[in-house]
Every structure is written in C-alpha cells, then in structure tokens.
Amino acid sequence: MPAPEPEFSRSDDRTLLNEAVREAGRIALTFYQTKLKTWMKDGDSIVTEADIAVNDQLQKALAHARPAYGWLSEETEDDAGRLSRARVWVVDPIDGTRAFAKGKPHFTISVALVENGRPVLAALFNPATDEFFEAEAGAGALLNGKAIRPGRRTEIAGARMAAHGPMFKHPAWPAPWPEMEIIERNSVAYRIALVACDAVDAAIALNGKNDWDLAAADLILTESGGRFTSHDGKIFIYNREVTRHRSMVAAGPELYEVLFQRLGALKLPG
C-alpha cells in the first residue's frame, strides 16, 4: 500500500534538513583529524566510526521526523519500501571518507530530498572549510547564504577540471585533451558543488556513482544555472531499484556543450 502523501511544506522540510546537516557537520568535526576506527566494506570502500555516527544522527533527525518519507543512505541497509514513497531522503553521511580519514578537508555531508525521482531540496556541508551549500527546486542555490552561479568559460584548454587526472591520458581517446588544471577532490558531491560556485569550471567522472553521491549536488548545480547529466546527456533519475549511475558531467552551460561534443558518443564498457 503506497505511503500517505506528505503533509509538511517545502519550507518545513528545508528548515529540518538544514538544521540536521549543520548538526551532522558538528558531529563530524569531533572525529576529524583524530585517531579513527576504520574498516573496509565492498572490497575497497573505507568506512569510519564517523560515517556511522553521522548517519545515525541524520536518520534520527530526518527519518524519525518524517516517517512517511523513504530513506536511502550509503551507510544503511537498503529498504525497498522507499520505492513506494512520494518523498525520499537520499544521504551520504560523509562523502569523501578517504580524505576525511587522512585529515584532509575534501569531504562533505550530502543530503537531498527526492520527490518523484528528482531532488527538490539539497544541503551539502563541508564543515572543515565552513562551506554550506543549499538549494530548493525553483528557488536557486546558495553558498553560505549568498546566491551562486557557475562560470561562463567556453573552452576546455586551461579549464579548472575536478576529475581524476589520469583519465584524460588514456590512449583510447580519439583526440588528446587540451592542457587543463586538474583539481583532485575525493568527495564527488564537493566537486560538483565547486562547479556551481565557479571554484572550478567542470567535473567529469566516467566510472560508476550512486544516488547518494549525486542527488544533492545535482540540485545545487542545476539551480545555480549549470548543467549536470550522464556523459551521454541523460538527466539523473533517483530512487530507482538500481541506484548506480555510469558517469557524470558537470559544467557551466557553455562549457557543458563543448564537453558534450567530446563525450556524448563515448561508449563505456559494461
């Protein structure tokens, strides 16, 4: 039986979300640059005690306050009941766990509220640098309370690119990439948000990412005026049975078109 329609306003949910994510940031900082308990999952994915503490806090603050909403988090066993919910919290308690565990400030707490497959609210917080990104569908995107826009760059050469540098040197490319300034950030969501505020020009990944990596940053970038799709131009639909996505391209509108000319016809393995 489908869950009842949500009874809370968008404004109510935004206030709840922002307060929960700010509190999550405070909890994360109590673990940051300390000796952490860590372990591995899924072969090569690291988890720390901070991931679990932040996840528990967010679940208590968000899921308990909105029992009619679904819940999808990297650090919670998946519950297929989310598929029948009108609204779903999509959560990465600490995106960029490897950076966090090394004491580097390249991690974020990433939470989106997804409605009918698309994010309608987003909060993305890097507490180490005190950068709080937020967005609401139709209402723009903010960084620390100020409106943000992506850059207007029109060419790849010299672009500030948030990506894995060796990807651009792969011999399979039909034409070499121009020289760019490569900026490495462990948090995928952070890379995308940096495009939204014009700290970088673009972000590309040609390997799999999950709903929780993308949903919040998706809304922040698109509400800022940027473009965000898979490499072949498809917008992302979230809260499906399979939460994995094959690729992503994030850029300002002009640079996106130039990048798409290189990437749109690319055939990825698998």
Residue 265 neighbours by CB distance under 10 Å: 10
Distance from C-alpha of 181 to C-alpha of 185, rounded to nearest angstrom: 13
Q: Report the number of secondary-structure helices (H) and strands (E) in the chain.
A: 6, 16
Dist. CA 169–CA 43, nearest whole Å: 27
Band (pLDDT 50/70/90 cuts) for residue 1 is very low
Q: How far apart are CA 82 and CA 70, in angstroms?
A: 4
Residue type for position 38: T
Lowest mean pLDDT among 51-55, 111-115, 154-158, 172-176: 172-176
pLDDT in tens, 6-36: 578 999 999 999 999 999 999 999 999 999 9
Whole-Å CA distances, 85 to 70, 73, 133, 147, 245 = 6, 15, 26, 31, 21
Q: What are phi and psi of 38, to 5 degrees?
A: -130, 155
Check if CATH label 3.30.450.370 holds for domain 10-147: no
Q: What Rg value do the Cα atoms of the chain yield, rounded? A: 18
Q: What does the domain layout of the chain look like in residue ranges? A: 10-147, 160-263
Residue that has been written with the tokens 């900026």 in this structure: 183
201-225 pLDDT, tens per residue?
Answer: 999 999 999 999 999 999 999 999 9
Q: pLDDT at position 266, please?
A: 85
* pLDDT digit string, tens, across residues 79-101: 999 999 999 999 999 999 999 99
Residue % of the chain over a pLDDT of 90: 89
For domain 160-263, the CATH architecture is: 3-Layer(aba) Sandwich (3.40)
